[in-house]
Amino acid sequence: MKQALVIASFGTSVPEARSSIEAVEKTLIEAVDDYTAIRAFTSPTIRRILAKRGEEVPSLPEALEQLRARGVRRAAVQPTHLLYGFEYDKLRAEAEALSAGFDVLSVGRPLLADTAALLRFAAGLAGMYPREEGGAVVLMGHGTEHFANAVYPALQTALRLAGREDVLVGIAASGRTPYVLGAMAYARSLGAPVVSVTCCPGSPVTEAADIAIAPAPGPEVVTGSTRMKSGTAQKMVLNMLSTGAMIKLGKVYGNLMVDVKPSNEKLIGRCRRIVCTAAEVDGETAGEALERCGWRPKTAIVMLRLGVDAEAARKLLEDGGGRVAAALERGE
């Protein structure tokens, strides 16, 4: 009986990121060498970008239809998703809608589907990022209303069991004051500096902080609706903090965001325009330089400004702490 394995990923248009997907695919293929393997990407945007480059990657329904047309009767779909969520639910629904065309069609679990997988993942992270004096590793979860959100605190527990109390998992989902106070207390217990942003000077949050930022926008137009004036004021403060941090980290050159990751068609165009402006070249020249350096805008800018190859530009950026201005000074 013909049998096949569909390895379904969200997908990527960035060459450097493809290696991670390919490593997972290689492991899966080696585990089931009697199956014909086929790749599928679930993101329409990624597939469209790749198609323009001459690479056709099927969606999950397209991959299953191809297998059915070849006479495959037994198929397995294995997602490379880390955890359950709306994306996984959609993938499973697409597979089930086409199950009538196969004798057997199964859908595997995501990679972090049980406690054992979480513990192995946590142990791997602990080894990948060794403990550093005065440092910490922050893992930012996307956050979701799906029940899979429970994986984040579970991962936090697994990391603690792996001996890594210095690793924090942040969830960008809600943000009620009791959780903020709890996070601040935990950060303080690790010896980390604590900063607060609130519109209530003298509140418990400001008292718990080493540095308290407390704009006073005044009473809300609709009493108690803090998403209005207070929320807007806090967002402005957070924009200042995050923009300042990105500048300090070398992700800005002049007024350009030079560390853009070209993960979709819009950002690919933005990368090209950034290099055009910073290096004062035309779009064709910028595109050629980006192709040579794996679509890294900072590297392309240094290459074009100094007339060096990608390897030399990367070395100058590394020596300059990832800052374009410092790399240019070193190369002049």
Separation of alpha carbons 282 and 288, rounded Å: 10
In terms of Cα–Cα distance, which of 308, 312, 329, 315 is closest to 253?
Answer: 329
> For the whole model, what pTM was predicted?
0.52
| Virtual torsion, Cα 256, 259, 262, 263, nearest 10 deg | -120
Top CATH class, 252-331: mainly alpha
Separation of alpha carbons 114 and 161, rounded Å: 15
pLDDT of residue 299: 95
Q: Which residues of the chain have pLDDT under 50?
A: 167-176
pLDDT of residue 171: 29
pLDDT of residue 142: 67
Label residue 137 exposed, middle or buried (CB < 10 Å: 0-12, 13-18, 19+): middle
Give the residue range(s) of CATH 3.40.50.1400 domains in the chain.
3-107, 112-174
Give the residue range(s) of CATH 1.10.8.1080 domains in the chain.
252-331
pLDDT of residue 168: 41
Backbone angles phi, psi at 40, to 5 degrees: -140, 140
Q: Helix (H, G, I), strand (E, B), or coil: what is residue 62?
A: helix
Architecture of domain 3-107: 3-Layer(aba) Sandwich (3.40)
152: enclosing H helix or E strand: helix 151-161
pLDDT of residue 1: 57
pLDDT of residue 7: 95
Lookup result for tokens 């200042």 = 240
CATH code reported for the domain at 112-174: 3.40.50.1400
Separation of alpha carbons 9 and 80, rounded Å: 5
